[in-house]
Amino acid sequence: MKKKLLLLLTQAMFLPMSMTLTSCTEETGVENTGEAASLVLDNDSVTLVQGHDITVNITSGNGDYSVRSFDESVVTATVNGTAVTIHAVENSQLGEDDILKTTVLVLDGRKKVARVEVLVARLWDLTVDVPSEEGIDLFIGETRTVKILTGNGGYGISATEGAGDFVEIGEITGQTFTLTGLLETGDTPVQLTLTDSEGKTVAFPVRVNIVDLMLAENEAVFSAPDAEAQYIAIEQGNGNYAIEYSTGDSEPTETSDIVEASVSGNMITIEPMSRGNVNVIVTDQKGSSETIAVTVNPYELQLEGNPTSLTVNGFANTLSVAIARGNGGYTLSPLTEENSKYIESAEIDKNDNLVVKAKWFGTTELTITDEAGQSLDVPVTVAPVAAELSSDYCFRMGIREYIESHPDFDHQQQLTFEMVFWPTYSRALQSFIGLEGVFLLRCENNGDTDLRFEIATKIHKDPANLSGDTYNDPRFRSQQKMGNDRQGNAQWYHIAIVFDGTQSSTKEAYKMYINGVREELTPASEDYANVSPDPYLVLSSVAGDEALMIGRSGNSEYRLGYCAIAQARMWTVARTEEQIKADMCTYYTPEEAAEKEGLAGYWVPSEGTVGLDMFPNYGYVGEGLNGIVYNNTSSISQTPFNGQYRPVECPHSY
């Protein structure tokens, strides 16, 4: 018999697709979009007698249902809506034991599959999943499902007189029915008798007992007052449940501000409302009670957008961000000595906004606390930004005026200019920083693309007569080409140009460093390729706009520098490669800059705000070389800086 069963099952697995297929497109309320629902039946195994039918219901699925029998000589199946009817074929060949097992598949439109195992016989004994002598013990309110294991269909239930006062008997569906305890039976249990169409019977007692109330859990913890509800099952009890609340040693109350609890069937639902601790007391109609200790934690402190850190762009800028989540009563830890290096002020305003006013570049941490004791550590970074000069602005430092009152500053035996900038456009003879006709960083005069950086300077033929004739336009060019937005290869540069009049040759007197690496320079003319340099530079001989300029030279709108500038330095020393590389991305504080030996000019146009008439000089010369903002027309005039800023990155070797 077992071999025959195996053979039939194997044959059924390879039935052709043309086999009889019955389908129905009615759905169970699940749309055929999104994630497919599971296909679930109310019974996955049934027993039948030849010639009888049984119905299995689809409780979850995706519509467009169809059914398929593995062996239609034994059973057939049809579907109507969500009801699957299985029919045992009359007089089918069942085998030597008069029993055969087969399978009915249920499929839906989303390719989900469920199986019903079917046993067919000529006649079955009637059996249920209840020990006949022991029967079933219920507590009041408990619902138990009883499954008919084998039988011959046409099932009915009879009970002793008055059983309905103690037990509610559910309708038989397929091969299952439910029993629900209503009232304790005492010493005389209810007797139930199940009968099938062939007169087979099975009887068993049902007792409804008074029990001690027992819950699945006696504790509930919520992460916040708006957390999702939690559910606790009543494992046993005596029905008609009541809810009370108590806090600490206080008397129980009917309501609570912290949670709301309710009971439906044998399930307790607890919904949080506010932070705190409360006991939820559950009592049944027989006076048995259990307590659930509930903790609703306070809201976690969060800023708007839930950032892990804050960035203030620019050292004169202010950032305001709302406290989006918390428990009220917000306070901010006082600024420490460390905080005060980078932050001018910080407060929680009347609208619960964290307001931070920057002071200088760097990262520090602020701590917010609330009245619930929650705290939030907020890393705050004051980040440098670059002022975009483009074709609209330049900075003019009145070096001639300064020299008039400080004549000893005029002749410089050594000089270094450094600049961190982002070229935005490609155009010949752009000037970035320096003094026209003295010492200047610019790009070459060679069309509008693929331009090299160059040093433009002055060398006299007669070292004893520095007001005499000069070599013709001495220039020293880099090997690297200038990247810019226009050509789509823009990048951050740190460029330093160095003059050292103590050297005997122009090859060592004039140097350029790009991103901390010395550049091989090519002289534009062999006339001055390796001659002796001037022993010093005469700063007052500056031409053009007759000033130290950033973003312009030559008194011409065609000599402006298209760029965003992050910082610039002027040293009255010849800086070495090691010195340049060591701090090319460093932002000195104003106090540090004033103490740097030889740092005459230091400009950091990184306030991050607009409407500024000048950017201060933090070098030792002080306000005498403040960067006054001018427009970049043919005849420049003072104007407020109302341009844009962009975030800065540290340049590196490309």
533-554 pLDDT tens trace: 999 999 999 998 899 999 999 8
- At 18, the pLDDT band (50, 70, 90 cuts) reads very low
Neighbour count for residue 159 (Cβ, 10 Å)? 16
Q: How much is the pLDDT for 369?
A: 97
Of 245, 279, 296, which residue sits at a domain end?
Answer: 296
Q: What angle do CA 343, 346, 349 make, to 5 degrees?
A: 160
Of 89, 121, 153, which residue sits at a domain end?
Answer: 121
Same domain? For 369 and 393 the reply is no
534-537, long-range: CB < 8 A, 24+ apart: 534/458, 534/459, 534/460, 534/463, 534/466, 534/501, 535/413, 535/463, 535/501, 535/502, 536/411, 536/412, 536/413, 536/466, 536/501, 537/411, 537/412, 537/415, 537/438, 537/439, 537/457, 537/458, 537/499, 537/501
Tell me the residue ranges of DSSP E strands in 273-374.
276-283, 289-296, 302-303, 310-313, 318-325, 331-332, 343-348, 353-358, 362-369
Q: Give Cα separations from 635 to 427, 547, 559, 628 (angstroms).
A: 20, 14, 12, 15
Q: How much is the pLDDT for 11?
A: 41
On whether residue 654 sits in a domain, the answer given is no
Q: Give Cα separations from 465 to 411, 529, 633 (angstroms).
A: 14, 20, 36
pLDDT tens, residue by residue, 479-524:
999 999 999 999 999 999 999 999 999 999 999 999 999 999 999 9
When pLDDT is averaged across residues 212-218 and rounded to a whole number, the result is 96
- At 153, the pLDDT band (50, 70, 90 cuts) reads confident
On whether residue 501 sits in a domain, the answer given is yes
Q: Percentage of residues in the chain with pLDDT exceeding 70? A: 94
Distance CA 522, CA 517 (A): 16
- At 653, the pLDDT band (50, 70, 90 cuts) reads low
- At 389, the pLDDT band (50, 70, 90 cuts) reads very high
Round the average pLDDT of the chain to a whole number and report it: 91
Nearest CA-CA partner of 599 in 577, 617, 615, 576: 617
When pLDDT is averaged across residues 606-634 and rounded to a whole number, the result is 96
- At 123, the pLDDT band (50, 70, 90 cuts) reads confident
Same domain? For 484 and 558 the reply is yes
When pLDDT is averaged across residues 365-388 and rounded to a whole number, the result is 97
Q: How much is the pLDDT for 504?
A: 92
Same domain? For 510 and 593 the reply is yes
On whether residue 652 sits in a domain, the answer given is no
Query: 609 or 32: whose pLDDT is higher?
Result: 609
Same domain? For 426 and 413 the reply is yes
Asked whether 474 and 525 are in contact (CB, 8 A), the reply is yes
Q: How much is the pLDDT for 24?
A: 54
Same domain? For 323 and 410 the reply is no
Same domain? For 379 and 449 the reply is no
On whether residue 611 sits in a domain, the answer given is yes
Query: 654 or 13: whose pLDDT is higher?
Result: 654
Domain count along the chain:
5
pLDDT tens, residue by residue, 285-337:
999 999 999 999 999 999 999 999 999 999 999 999 999 999 999 999 999 99
Distance CA 627, CA 585 (A): 21
DSSP tally for the chain: helices H, then strands E: 5, 52
Same domain? For 204 and 218 the reply is no
Q: Which domain holds residue 351?
A: 302-383
Same domain? For 97 and 155 the reply is no
- At 3, the pLDDT band (50, 70, 90 cuts) reads very low
pLDDT tens, residue by residue, 556-587:
888 999 999 999 999 999 999 999 999 999 99
Using a 10 angstrom Cβ sphere, with 0-12 exposed, 13-18 middle and 19 or more buried, the burial of residue 387 is: buried
On whether residue 641 sits in a domain, the answer given is yes
Of 169, 193, 209, which residue sits at a domain end?
Answer: 209
Element (H, E) at 578: helix 577-583
- At 95, the pLDDT band (50, 70, 90 cuts) reads low
Taking the whole predicted model, whether its pTM rises above 0.75 is answered as no
pLDDT tens, residue by residue, 399-446:
999 999 999 999 999 999 999 999 999 999 999 999 999 999 999 998
On whether residue 354 sits in a domain, the answer given is yes
644-647, long-range: CB < 8 A, 24+ apart: 644/388, 645/313, 645/314, 645/385, 645/386, 645/387, 645/388, 645/564, 645/606, 645/608, 646/385, 646/386, 646/388, 646/422, 646/564, 647/313, 647/383, 647/384, 647/385, 647/386
Q: How much is the pLDDT for 454?
A: 97
Same domain? For 265 and 392 the reply is no
Same domain? For 350 and 365 the reply is yes
CATH number at residue 92: 2.60.40.1080
pLDDT tens, residue by residue, 158-205:
999 999 999 999 999 889 999 999 989 988 999 999 999 889 999 999
Q: Give Cα separations from 492 to 260, 484, 485, 547 (angstroms).
A: 60, 9, 11, 26
pLDDT tens, residue by residue, 28-60:
444 455 688 999 999 899 998 888 899 999 999
pLDDT tens, residue by residue, 246-283:
998 889 999 999 999 999 988 999 999 999 999 999 99
Same domain? For 227 and 257 the reply is yes
On whether residue 417 sits in a domain, the answer given is yes
Distance CA 522, CA 530 (A): 11
Q: How much is the pLDDT for 555?
A: 87
Tell me the residue ranges of DSSP E strands in 284-349.
289-296, 302-303, 310-313, 318-325, 331-332, 343-348
Q: Does the pLDDT value for residue 91 go beyond 90?
A: no
Distance CA 587, CA 602 (A): 10
Q: How much is the pLDDT for 16?
A: 38
CATH number at residue 425: 2.60.120.200
CATH number at residue 200: 2.60.40.10
Same domain? For 63 and 185 the reply is no
